[in-house]
């Protein structure tokens, strides 16, 4: 009887508090700088991989549909790396997201963390240790390495494939921080993050950013350790605006923010500065706002957001769990 080479895994997406924007090595996704994130409890990708010696090519199903475009190619190229190290057979891959596609939530982060874990688990030879799993996730999409661990995570950028790994800073129960994703647009990005990393790497502001980033990194880690929301919020907002400035002033320019994003930022700052509501924001490579507050203020923040953006979908995340292997197979 032949062994079934099949396994399933789930992983949460993550939101960067200190951003990865700009790579030093494009083949291995080695970033210009270290970054820090929170794992997002409500943005989960589940993936099943089945290695099959009968297959003549990979079969990739995303959200229940077979894909033959760029997305499928990217999955196959990733499987090629695993094949280089392990077997030469092809695979059937099925993957679903708990969150709607195109919401600006980094599905490549949860996607490659779940794919890497499922693909290696399916080989049936035991999983590599957690640190090696972060390397495998990062080889698919840089930010995916931070989706292997639970809670609050640091990606030590390193300078090559061996040294570029992520590690947990604090578990989910360390701090009841919330991240409301305010979904303002579902339109695809005009400039992909891969292209954005290239533009950023040659941006003249990047040298100045790198100079002060080590100090900001230390301050963010300190604020996380001390559960100091006001300090963390101010640092994270500043970081988000700095990265947006680099994005929009690059060559070519990546203007991810929309009018509605800016309108909500003004509203949020007025809730904080005029009404005393302890709320801050961050942004990713897209128009959707990530609104940060402590759990004790989550209801008040939700009400504000619902009133200010009644048509926007809200996704309320807590610090999420680690990526796991399980038996809820999609194939
Ligand atoms: O992992 P990538 O190549 O999709 O890059 C993602 C970069 C940002 O999401 C914009 C920031 C980050 O650190 O996650």
Task: List the residue whose alpha carbon is closest to atom 4 of ligand 1.
Answer: 193
pTM of the model: 0.96
pLDDT tens column, 164-177: 999 999 999 999 99
Is 285 close to ligand 1, i.e. is its CB under 6 Å away?
Answer: yes
Catalogue the E-assigned strands of the chain.
5-18, 23-25, 30-31, 35-52, 59-62, 65-66, 90-97, 152-156, 165-170, 177-183, 280-283, 289-294, 313-317, 324-326
Indicate which atom in ligand 1 lies nearest the CA of residue 141: 1
Indicate which atom in ligand 1 lies nearest the CA of residue 194: 3
What rounded mean pLDDT belongs to the chain? 95
Mutate to test the pocket of ligand 1, among 23, 40, 71, 106 (most ligand atoms within 8 A of CB): 106
**Cα 61 to averaged position of ligand 1 atoms, centre (Å):** 23
**Cα 72 to averaged position of ligand 1 atoms, centre (Å):** 20
Alpha-carbon gap, residue 147 to 137, rounded angstroms: 8
pLDDT tens column, 128-143: 999 999 999 999 999 9
- The yes-or-no verdict on residue 99 having pLDDT over 80 is yes
Is 317 close to ligand 1, i.e. is its CB under 6 Å away?
Answer: no
- The yes-or-no verdict on residue 1 having pLDDT over 60 is no
Is 155 close to ligand 1, i.e. is its CB under 6 Å away?
Answer: no
**CATH class of the region 1-331:** alpha beta
For residues 58-80, give the mean pLDDT.
Answer: 95
**Cα 192 to averaged position of ligand 1 atoms, centre (Å):** 10
């Amino acid at each position: 009887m032949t062994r079934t080479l099949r396994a399933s895994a789930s992983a949460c997406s993550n939101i960067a508090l200190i951003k990865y924007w700009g790579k030093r090595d494009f083949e291995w996704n080695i970033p210009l700088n270290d970054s820090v994130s929170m794992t997002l409890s409500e943005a989960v990708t589940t993936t099943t991989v089945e290695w099959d010696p009968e297959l003549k090519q990979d079969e990739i199903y995303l959200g229940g549909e077979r894909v033959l475009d760029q997305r499928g190619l990217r999955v196959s190229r990733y499987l090629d790396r695993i094949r280089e190290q392990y077997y030469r057979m092809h695979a059937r891959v099925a993957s679903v997201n708990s969150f709607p596609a195109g919401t600006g939530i980094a599905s490549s982060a949860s996607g490659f963390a779940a794919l890497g874990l499922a693909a290696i688990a399916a080989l049936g030879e035991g999983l590599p240790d957690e640190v090696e799993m972060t390397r495998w996730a990062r080889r698919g999409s840089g930010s995916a390495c931070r989706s292997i661990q639970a809670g609050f995570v640091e990606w030590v950028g390193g300078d090559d494939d061996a040294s570029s790994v992520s590690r947990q800073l604090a578990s989910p129960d360390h701090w009841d921080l919330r991240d409301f994703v305010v979904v303002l647009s579902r339109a695809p990005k005009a400039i992909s993050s891969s292209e954005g990393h290239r533009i950023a790497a040659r941006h003249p502001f990047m040298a100045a950013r790198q100079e002060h980033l080590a100090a900001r990194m230390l301050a963010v880690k300190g604020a996380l350790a001390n559960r100091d929301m006001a300090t963390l919020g101010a640092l994270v907002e500043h970081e988000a605006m700095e990265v947006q400035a680099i994005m929009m002033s690059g060559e070519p320019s990546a203007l991810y923010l929309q009018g509605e994003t800016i309108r909500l930022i003004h509203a949020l700052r007025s809730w904080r500065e005029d009404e005393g509501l302890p709320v801050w924001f961050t942004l990713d490579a897209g128009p959707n706002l990530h609104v940060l507050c402590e759990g004790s203020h989550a209801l008040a923040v939700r009400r504000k957001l619902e009133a200010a953006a009644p048509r926007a979908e809200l996704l309320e995340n807590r610090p999420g769990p680690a990526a796991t292997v399980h038996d809820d197979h999609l194939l």
